[in-house]
A and B are shown apart, each in its own frame.
Chain A
């Protein structure tokens, strides 16, 4: 197991390098940051001057190599948009806000989907399943910005239970967390339900029931273990999509996190900040997936990681 984990960590390095290359190329191809900084009133002389000042007039391969050299030394570059502030600093100071948001969203999603999924599998074909399915569909069908705006309209402006935006208030994280987590809750509910139904119908489950083992125990010991595999997979994957969804949620709720920063950095082609965010996101995703894979083995000892 240890060997497996170490190998996975080592594999992250070439992946990260590959990612930086892809991002670098994409950003350079898709627009000129100097033009964006100067706006409509840019003169060609200004553009040329600034290009030179920022080292953007050198051949692209050289630029990439310079960037990589700095990166290996721990220098993530400086932000074009933020007047020369170190990119790493800019990104790291926004991380906690998004982490809180994503954490709350995940919490809400699990808190809703676990009971909902189990109930709709057990009470299949009866009222509770239909109710759970209905809300699940709703959660999936509503775009999260739409849900966010509705929540603000009803609960913040209308009822005044929550603040409209920002993260000052102690309960400010609830509405955005709900907006972000709702669709994940929906997906997880249905997934859990489907996996549980499958497992519950398998021969050996029926055998166990026939032997007189109580449904609850059957469920707990056999069904959940197998159903959890897909459940965990999706959670692991959704770690990344939560961060993507956070972009929209952060915009609606003026939540100053990585999502907002990423969009603005992409819009202004702020290479250093975008790269830093992507590298950070990649590391988070890979670590999460590693954790999920390890948990696979813990849950189902039949799965070996060689």
Chain B
């Protein structure tokens, strides 16, 4: 049914064009925020008023400057050792972005490939890959991380790799599910009759259809990885000082919720903002890439 294919593609490119021209306001906000974080991360040493690791022993647990007890010079207050919150937040963006993006990139690369291949080829290969996926899910992540620590010592990049790569299974499964559905559609058979190579079919037809849920999950994953890092810190693993991470700040701050709420509130807000921006961007990307969305 070549007709339908032509019509679909036709509609696709028209709507893609239309969408590009129409920048949704939320997406702009999201991109703005993300850009701000990226700038913050890159220019951290110039933006931060203090060294994030230097405690001010005389100004511990100072509230933000607009509250009673606030200390001039520490805009957002200080933590339990007297370190400036604002500086720590700025530097923390580095790890957050690193962990989030590279982790997801890693997971995406592996997961999408495995899902596409597994779903399209099917049969024994599919069964085997899904078996691998299922079994990997059962091993506790903390165990993997602890071992890496023991064998290789402290390493941020190893943490990113482990966290990210553990999560490829979600992508693989979702992609595979989409592929299974799409496989049955007529235009795949049509492509085959024309003599199109499977790889080309995969990329031209399957991939765009798969983009929607993938993007949603990917944006969610970035936030999830940042929070995962926080949980690892909570459990006592995770990145150790003196590296500053929002996750560690959140975890350390939980003991002070009733007495010094700003220790945990600000990193929490940062994580929320970043997640928000990623979601807005993710939505816009989905609309842009999905040839079936309404203009």
Contact = CB atoms under 8 A, between A and B. Distances in A.
Q: Per the CB under 8 Å rule, do A and B touch in the complex?
A: yes
Interface of A: 7-8, 11, 15-16, 18-19, 22-23, 26-27, 29-31, 133, 137-138, 140-146, 149-150, 153, 183, 186-187, 190-191, 194-195, 197-198, 201-203, 226, 229-230, 233-234, 236-237, 240, 244-245, 247-248, 251, 262-263, 266, 274, 277-278, 281-282, 285-286, 289, 296, 300, 302-303, 306
B170 A234 contact: yes
A244 B174 contact: no
B246 to A, nearest CB: 10
- Going nearest first, the 8 A-B pairs with the smallest beta carbon separation are A282-B138, A30-B150, A141-B272, A30-B147, A15-B135, A141-B275, A240-B137, A26-B147
Given A143-B231, A198-B290, A198-B292, A281 B140 contact: yes
B288 to A, nearest CB: 13
Interface residues of B, number: 60
Contacts of B127: 7-8, 11
Nearest to B211: A198
Contacts of B177: 229-230, 233, 296
6 contacts: A19-B135, A23-B143, A190-B279, A236-B173, A237-B137, A302-B181
Interface stretch (B51-59, B80-88, B212-220): B212-220
Contacts of A296: 177, 180
Interface string B127-142: 1001100110111111
Interface in B250-272: 250-251, 254, 257-258, 264, 268, 271-272
A31 B135 contact: no
Contact of A190 (B8, B220, B224, B234): B220
Given A27-B143, A306-B123, 15 more contacts: A7-B127, A19-B135, A30-B150, A144-B231, A146-B230, A183-B227, A195-B212, A198-B290, A198-B293, A201-B290, A203-B292, A229-B181, A237-B137, A240-B137, A278-B143
A53 to B, nearest CB: 24
B223 A141 contact: yes
Contacts of A201: 290, 292-294
Interface of B: 8, 122-123, 127, 130-131, 134-135, 137-144, 146-147, 149-151, 169-170, 173-174, 177-178, 180-181, 184, 212-213, 216-217, 220, 223-224, 227, 230-231, 234-235, 247, 250-251, 254, 257-258, 264, 268, 271-272, 275-276, 279, 286, 290, 292-294
Contacts of A146: 230, 250, 254, 264, 268
A286 B138 contact: yes
Contact of B139 (A7, A198, A278): A278
B232 to A, nearest CB: 10
B165 to A, nearest CB: 15
Given A137-B275, A248-B234, A306-B123, A240 B217 contact: no
A273 to B, nearest CB: 12
A145 B255 CA distance: 11
Nearest to B209: A198
B56 to A, nearest CB: 26
Contacts of A144: 227, 231
